[in-house]
Structure 1
Amino acid sequence: MEINKKVDKGEDNSPEGEMTKEDVSEANEGDIVLGCHIRLSSHQRPVIHQVASAPMPSDCEFSFFDPSEPQCREVLLDPSTTIPELFAILRQWVPQVQKNIGVIGNEILKRGCGVNDRDGLTDMSLLHYCCKAGAPGIGDAETAASFARQLLALGADPNLRSRWTNMRALHYAAYFDVPQLIQVVLQDAQPGEVDATCSDFDFGTALHIAASNLCLSAVKCLLELGANPAFRNEKAQCPADVVPDPLDMPLDMADVAAVAKQLRTLLREALPRPSTPLPLTLQAQSPPALSDKARVQLATMGIRLGDRVAIAGQKVGTLRFCGSTEFSGGLWAGVELDKPEGKNNGSVAGVQYFTCRLKHGIFAPLSKISKPLERPKATKVHTPVRPPRRIDLSRITSRINTAQQKDQPRTKCCLGPSLLSSTYSPRSWSQPCFSRQFFMCIYRLDRTGAVLSH
């Protein structure tokens, strides 16, 4: 079981869609892609090894590598077996491989692999693989923890991120529910590193990752080591909010539902209790200081903090922030929207740039900000009153259709002397055309004082 590779996220100018500093770690200045047969000592700069297939004995009956089998062990110990081929063995998600992480890992180091070198396919280091290898039911946690201590003693970087998954060793240990590896990785960590975020999990922490994956042991371990249960991801969710809902699980998953319920209770009880009620409305805050670059740019646009602005001519709100951010380079605008159409409360990845209500905050490149277009006020059109016109009724004639009624008896109708003369038949009374026109003539003539006679 491998963490799926992440493909290009598309060209979205919002923080959620754009590749950020955290999404893709910048390639180290000394990172080199190596071929199969180049040897380096562990103190040299980290390299990315080429991709290869796992070596298998020609007459092996198994589809996976088993170091306990004599033929496989012979391949493992063969000096001609390359580092990329050994990395390919580590990618096999079977107990025979994962329980032998120390044996296979040491063979990789013996061939000159640097302790922070990466597998060309997964972009994972040996420490990353080690944190996976302790997964319950697949590997052995104590064996993996022992090899992790060895790697850290050799200079393995626990903060190194995979460029595909953006995960640190801590995140892998949380994802695969290995508390022993969490303790080893955080043993010499700096304050706050337990809450390091991962963009592929909505900028959540290791506690978010463990909670969403129902890793109860990892959650308990992280809380004991000081993980913040109130930390909110970019969707404004704390770890308790990302636990799958037990009510949505089928009856045959009763055990999993029980774990989910227990996790929710544990994480909610760990939340700090406010001593005073939260204010219903946010207090007005002084605007943040602007950098010279941001001030000049806003001045050229004729916009100031607190002005009404539109994002790409669509969403409208108030400009609350303008400047550089930790999630991406360049100048970004933070806008408090009028409607709950945003993505945050003014914070991204744990950094609060401004404060607003939940889902009313959004960030966009400054180039997409403009003044909202004012709708033109409706003007009343005054139509001059015209005096009533006198109608010459002597020209009015009936338009009653009497076609196809030659055999019917005719009756003469006179509407006023010498004003209207027509012939009609009783049959034509039922025709809508006749009724409408006939009575309209009667109505108009009667209003003008004409004599009506039959």
Structure 2
Amino acid sequence: LTKLPPQFLPLMTKEQTVEVEEEAQPASEYQSPVHEPRKRPMVHPSAQAPLPKDYAFTFFDPNDPACLEILLDPRTTIPELFAIIRQWVPQVQHKIDLIGNEILKRGCHVNDRDGLTDMTLLHYSCKAGAHGVGDPAAALRLSSQLISLGADVSLRSRWTNMNALHYAAYFDVPELIRVLLKASKPRVLNSTCSDFNHGTALHIAASNLCLGSVQCLLEHGANPTVRNDKGQGPADVVPDPMDMTLDKAEAAMVAKELKQLLLDAVPLSCNLPRATLLNYDNIPGNLMLTSIGLKLGDRVVLDDMKTGTLRFCGTTEFASGQWVGVELDEPEGKNDGSVGGVRYFICPPKLGIFAPVSKIAKAVEQAPSSVTSTPKTPRMDFSRVTGKNKKDKKELKEKKSMSVASLDPDGVKVELGDQVLVAGVKQGIIRFYGKTDFAPGYWFGVELEQPTGKHDGSVFGVRYFNCLPKYGVFAPPSRVQRIGGPKDGQSGDCTLVKKVHQVSMNQPKRNFSAVRSPKDITSESSISRLLFCCWFPWMLRAEMQS
């Protein structure tokens, strides 16, 4: 009798019950299963799940009388009960509320962690809500009980870096998401997870085709424009239906509906009234700079005190509204161009600083920049060619001036072969600059260091540069940041000539200062015709004689 909990004792009179307790108390080594919870949480050591002797199965089944006896036995420790919860079988997960209550009865703090997985009871409860293996109703009962006891929704597992909201989104339990968001702080809604490329719960749900979780998160105000470390929004991580096989037609339909739902949730500035755009979050950074007469690379003054170079303009994850990033001349900043693990531009430590757009003004410089001045393009004069060496020097000078002029129309100060950072994330080397057939405006063609691109330098059958497949990407000048010069021994003169020629063919016509008069051009044409008229009859006569 002493081994059974009170609810399993047979009916006795009051005197018999007292007598049994007096006899059993000296021989018992275990306290009552109901203890006062500790004031501070702890991490319980790892243990193995207990099983009955001569048990036919390898997993714990609370529906079996022998397993139920072990579960309710006060000698079963908290680490052993955590080991039972870790078993991912329906028999255990459907009884998550029963097992969780047994853990709490033994004095477990509501935020205690399992030593093997570093997960709390709330984490296990959200995981047990998975449809099929788990039971959403049982998980909801335990989660509500834990939250009422003060469970911290923002706690993360140190192994997966996931909090309770991430687990509920991953296993598609909208019922739990509503309860968690009601009890959590606002910052939990858009919190990121490093195991999912620093994506939010919306990214996690979208990548797993959890339509119910995505709808629930959007209803509670989740931001559909947040991008992960790969520059992907929640709509970008939805699996492509075209890549799915025929036996996954239902999943393909869900993916199509999910992607459209996320795309429709992204606010469009052109369709919203101006009254809802007080912070101008939806206006692109380049348009904001153009409206105030600035561009990336300009010299600016911050608060009429600090001077530096404008490196970034746009929305951020650390605050709402439009922000500018400035690389200061002196180490008076606060960062290196990154805030909260998100990189917006690159600079040395203590030289980067962020400020609202209204805090900067264009700096007045006395000496004009030599790079942005219009270069002189020398032309070949047939009557003054003196030697091959002089010709080669002149061509090299021409290529250099053309490359500087063509790659610096907006003050970006980037040349062919320079190392750059695309969208603040991807590193690569400039291989092309100019107009393209696939989109208007000027574009940089970048050969990435990692195969995270989209092509091999050609788009729609038109080749702009050469690189390995998945290493090529195009980006507008506003998304390209120079981080270094050409690598040593990277490209020879032939490659440079080829690239410069390709770039110069796509450039608009410029008004050069050294333009020859029509008289000079007519003179050259006359000389060419005279030489041709003298040379062609002589060659024709020699050919006929032979």
1:200-258: CA deviation from partner (whole Å, max 9, x where unpaired): 11111100000001111111111111111112122221100000111111112111111
1:236 aligns with 2:231: yes
Residue pair 2:190, 2:223 contacting (<8 A) in 1 also: yes
Equivalence for 2:107: 112
* Partner residue, 1:44: 39
Structure 2 CA distance for partners of 1:306 and 1:127, relative to 1, 3 Å:
same
Query: CA, structure 1 residues 344+71, in 2 after alignment: closer, same or farther (shift >3 Å)?
Result: farther
Change (3 A) 1:221 1:287: farther
| 2:334 corresponding residue in structure 1 | 323
Q: Secondary structure at the match of 2:43?
A: strand
> Residue 89 of structure 1 is aligned with which of 69, 84, 93?
84
| Partner Cα distance (1:288, 1:90) in 2 | 59
CA distance in 2, matches of 1:60, 1:201: 40
- Give yes or no for contact 1:99–1:140 (8 Å, CA) kept in 2: yes
Counterparts of 2:81 and 2:221, CA distance in 1: 37
Q: Distance in 2 between matches of 1:274 and 1:115?
A: 45
2:421 match: secondary structure:
coil
CA pair 108-357 structure 1, distance change in 2 beyond 3 A = farther
* Counterparts of 1:82 and 1:76, CA distance in 2: 9
Equivalenced residue count is 304
Equivalent in the alignment of 2:142: 147
Unaligned 5+ runs, structure 2: 1-30, 272-281, 312-324, 343-347, 354-411, 426-475, 490-546
Letter in 1 for 2:421: G
Q: Per-residue displacement from partner, 1:321-346 (whole Å, max 9, x unpaired)?
A: 75333339x94776999579536458
Structure 2: which amino acid aligns with 1:88?
A
Q: 1:275 aligns with which of 270, 279, 293?
A: 270
2:451 is matched with which residue? Answer: none
Instruction: Summarize the alignment of residues 288-307 of structure 1 with structure 2, pairs less than 5 Å apart.
Output: 305=309
CA RMSD in angstroms comes to: 3.9
Q: Which has the higher contact order (CA 8 A, sep 6+)?
A: 1
Q: 1:373 Cα shift?
A: 10
Aligned pairs for 1:193-208 (under 5 A) are 193-208=188-203
Query: Corresponding residue for 2:133?
Result: 138
Between 1:40-49 and 1:65-74, the stretch displaced more is 40-49
d(CA) in 2 for partners of 1:60 and 1:151? 32
Distance (whole Å) between structure 1 residues aligned to residue 108 and residue 57 of structure 2: 28
Q: Which residue of 1 aligns with 2:216?
A: 221
How high is the TM-score relative to the length of structure 2? 0.50
Within a 5 Å distance, the mapping from 1:176-187 to structure 2 comes to 176-187=171-182
Shift of 1:126: 0.2
- 2:204 counterpart residue number: 209
User: Structure 1's 78 and 360: CA in aligned 2 closer, same or farther, altered over 3 A?
Assistant: farther
Aligned: 1:263 with 2:383: no
Kindly, what percent of the aligned residue pairs are identical? 53
> In the superposition, relative to structure 1, how do residues 280 and 105 fare at CA in structure 2: closer, same or farther (>3 Å)?
closer
**In 1: Cα distance, 2:203 partner to 2:220 partner:** 15
Query: What corresponds to 2:95 in structure 1?
Result: 100
Asked whether the 8 Å contact 1:52–1:84 carries over to 2, the reply is yes
- Please identify the structure whose Cα radius of gyration is greater: 1
| Secondary structure at 1:342 match in 2 | strand
TM-score (norm 1): 0.59
